[in-house]
Amino acid sequence: MSNSLIIRLLGMLIITLALSSCSTVFLNDSDGTSLNALGEPRVLEMQMHLTRGSDSSTMDLVVEVRKQGLTVIGSSFGIRIFTLSYNGNLIAEGTGTGLPFYVPNKLIVDDVILALSSRSALEGKLPKNCKLVRVGEVGKIYCDERLLVNVEHQKTADKNELVLVERFQPEYKVNFVISEVK
């Protein structure tokens, strides 16, 4: 085996280990708290723009919030990218081609939960090792004294909601534009 192949394999192993240790806010201590933070059952349309390093992806999401869980369907140009269902304990993966670059499913679900949770729900329903610190309009969530994520909610001129989520492990940003299906 050549040295360059060994180095590549070691690099891929390190990246895999780093990504598998990614931190979520709600899904690490899953006790149904995350579902309680979502409020009333409803169906939402969301546009999601995810940027990680020099890679980016934009897609449409349909999100169904139920008392028993959450379903997130992501598509781009009519092609289903992923289908994720969360019941408060497990994330089930359905049909889809997958994201063009790696972001774990649990982080996608966690980001949707963060985007849909009200400020008061975030403050009252974070796991016990996490706290929310407000700096202006930005909510900074620390878990075990480590900054995991920034969340900022804004209203748009057309009464939709813009939510900016910035993660620090792994590093990426997600912008959601949310509108409720009537």
The model's pLDDT over 58-99, given as tens digits with 9 standing for 90+, comes to: 999 999 999 888 999 999 998 998 999 998 888 888 888 877
**Residue 14 clears pLDDT 50, i.e. is over it:** no
- CATH code, domain carrying 130: 2.50.20
pLDDT tens-digit profile of 136-146? 889 999 989 99
Of 121 and 49, more confident: 49
pLDDT for position 30: 45
**Residue 181 clears pLDDT 70, i.e. is over it:** yes
pLDDT tens-digit profile of 91-146? 888 888 877 667 888 889 989 998 998 777 777 778 788 889 999 889 999 989 99
- What range defines the domain where residue 96 resides? 3-180
pLDDT tens-digit profile of 142-162? 989 999 999 999 888 888 899
Q: How many domains does one find in the chain?
A: 1
Report the C-alpha gap between 32 and 92 in whole angstroms: 16
**Residue 13 clears pLDDT 50, i.e. is over it:** no
Give the model's confidence band at 4: pLDDT under 50 very low, under 70 low, under 90 confident, else very high: low
Of 104 and 4, more confident: 104
The b-or-e profile of 129-149 (16+ CB within 10 A means b, else e) is ebeeeeeeeebbbbbeeeebb
Give the model's confidence band at 177: pLDDT under 50 very low, under 70 low, under 90 confident, else very high: very high
**Residue 182 clears pLDDT 80, i.e. is over it:** no
**Single-letter amino acid, residue 64:** E
CA angle 82, 86, 92 (to 5 degrees): 55
8 Å CB contact between 7 and 143 = no
pLDDT for position 17: 39
Report the C-alpha gap between 28 and 106 in whole angstroms: 9
Least confident of 30-44, 45-59, 110-124: 30-44
**Residue 46 clears pLDDT 50, i.e. is over it:** yes
